[in-house]
Chains A and B, each alone.
Chain A
Amino acid sequence: MGRSRRPSKQMLLLLEALSAHTQQWRHGYDLMKETGLLSGTLYPLLIRMTDQGLVEAEWREPEHPGRPARHAYRLTSAGVAFARMATPAGPMAFTKAAFA
């Protein structure tokens, strides 16, 4: 299975962003800004992690009227467990600075 492979540094960055507040729904563009990942990297990761059941997604009402509903993401319980397993030293172990 794909999950048995060591996660890429981009995936670790995304896991870090999502595991900081596991109950909070996050928008794609906010995740891009926080992780520094481009849309071409972020969305394949989100698609793969959603297919693997690590991330759940749902449509959220827009914050401003007249805007379209936005897709929001958060870790599932399996995703939280995977994030802990992938980073035994805790979330601070895979910050952006660590990969720089």
Chain B
Amino acid sequence: MKPAVSRALLSLASRSLGSDRRTWAMAMEAEFEAAVEDRRPFLFALGCLFVAWREIGKHSEGRLILASYALALGLLIPMAALQFQQAVGFLSSADGPPYGIPSAGDGPNLYLIWSQNSAIPILLITWLLLAMAHLCLAWMLVEGDWPRIVKCGTLIGAAMITLSLFMGVLMLDLSSLKAQVAELVIEFVAVVAISRWHIRISSDASPELLAR
């Protein structure tokens, strides 16, 4: 167990060091076997992680990694939690009166109730899909997997448009989406800013580093 944890710590340290310090990350990884033989792999790996985190703010790639973590932890994961909360809230409110139409004296509109109830599964799936997509986006951003980030962002956009259409047409109520659309715009701007930063760093890197 402990060597596996130590290896994971070392791997995290290696990733955090960035391409500027790639040689040093490889040097630390090469010494890990000696630390295992000496039965001190955990202490060694912990020290390497400390080095990586001390170095992280000193190079542009490290600052990009920090910004990616901040965006993932500060915006994307809370957004995912919000989507899950919305899905649960939506499910619990489905038993109430029809959406968007105040109770009239002549009783509820049966057609409206039927159409809204029919839409509940697809809306629930879409909410959950949005939440999962946000979690995936957070993970991919930290991983720096840009082709998948683009695909995931497209999926989020498509899911949000679907949700808006269904909520508008069937539920006649877009109030629960207003805040989310605003947050999605902020999220989009932040991801685009990070991607531009990533492109700038990649173009500044030497051909040798790009080849690795």
Taking beta carbons and an 8 Å cutoff, which residues of A are in contact with B?
A: 27-30, 32-33, 38-44, 46-47, 57, 67-71
Contacts and interface: CB of A to CB of B under 8 A. Distances in A.
A70 B51 contact: no
A2 to B, nearest CB: 13
Contacts of A38: 43, 47
A27 B31 contact: yes
Most-contacted residue by chain A among B28, B29, B31, B38 (CB, 10 A): B31
A18 to B, nearest CB: 15
Interface of B: 21, 23-24, 26-31, 33-35, 38, 43-48, 50-51, 54-55
B11 to A, nearest CB: 14
B30 A39 contact: no
Contacts of A57: 23, 27
A71 B26 contact: yes
Contacts of B35: 29, 39
B38 to A, nearest CB: 7
A43 B30 contact: no
Q: 8 tightest A-B contacts by CB?
A: A39-B47, A40-B47, A71-B27, A40-B50, A29-B34, A29-B31, A43-B51, A70-B30
A35 to B, nearest CB: 13
7 contacts: A27-B34, A29-B31, A29-B35, A30-B34, A39-B44, A44-B54, A46-B24
Contacts of A71: 23, 26-27, 30-31
Contacts of B24: 43, 46-47
